[in-house]
Amino acid sequence: MDEKGFYIEPIARIYTGFPEKFGIPRQSGLVKELTGKIVFEKKYRRPEAVRGLDEFSHIWLIWRFENDASDEFRPTVRPPRLGGNERMGVFATRSPFRPNALGLSCVKLEKTDMSAGDAPVIYVSGIDMLDGTPIIDIKPYIPMADLRPDATEGYTEKTKEHLLEVVFENGTEKILPEDLLAAITGILRNDPRPGYADDPEKIYGLSYAGYDIGFCTDGKTVFVKRANHL
């Protein structure tokens, strides 16, 4: 430990279809079709380190937000689902703008590939991370300890149901590969716009897995206007 605090180094990086932050689900598990590939740093690339992991269906990922560094502590933030106007304490949210910029995601473990040249490689789904995000730690999800049926939801109880209808116009759905169509639909259903955005005429651009998606929405239905391969 140095005079500024603990030093933590990434153990791995996760590779996803998101080259930019816009469009990433606000929580893990919201879009089960979104996948990621976890590749360990050489120091931690040891098969025995993941022994027994395949016995679990889900895992926790502790990771670091790629934010601009700032020494200023922001005690309150504006959760997007509250319209971007109401402030909550940073520790009552999962905002990326936090003192140590750490994220926590519960994802489904699809498989562990022990035959790849950079094995072990872990494949997961239900991700909510930028391409190349550093992974700080991996832990198994244990229902007995992690599931709390009697837990209260706070203000998120009012905001959790926010799914939109998605309409692909002008044959845009035919441009997208079948394996990406469900993932992109899931992203759009969860309304990736900022919480304060309410212009139904504005065309937003979303990049995912090498495709540029243009869409607008009236807050109830998403209309896909374009789908181009980058």
Q: Is the confidence at residue 187, as pLDDT, over 90?
A: yes
Instruction: Give the pLDDT mean for 121-141.
Output: 98
Does residue 223 sit in the same domain as residue 139? Answer: no
Domain span including residue 200: 159-229
Q: CA of 178: how far to CAs of 33, 182, 183, 203, 205, in Å?
A: 11, 7, 9, 24, 20
> Is the pLDDT score of 75 beyond 70?
yes
Domain identity same for 167 and 217: yes
Q: Does 128 score more than 90 pLDDT?
A: yes
- Shared domain for 130 and 167, answered yes or no, is no
The domain that holds 121 is classified in CATH as 2.40.30.70
When divided into structural domains, the chain yields a total of 2
- pLDDT, position 97: 86
Average pLDDT over residues 182-188: 97
**Cα R_g (the chain), whole angstroms:** 19
pLDDT band per the 50, 70, 90 thresholds, residue 150: very high
pLDDT at 160: 66
* Interval 193-203: pLDDT, tens: 876 677 889 99
Same domain assignment for residues 130 and 20: yes
Same structural domain for residues 34 and 132? Answer: yes
Whether 70 is in a domain gets the answer: no
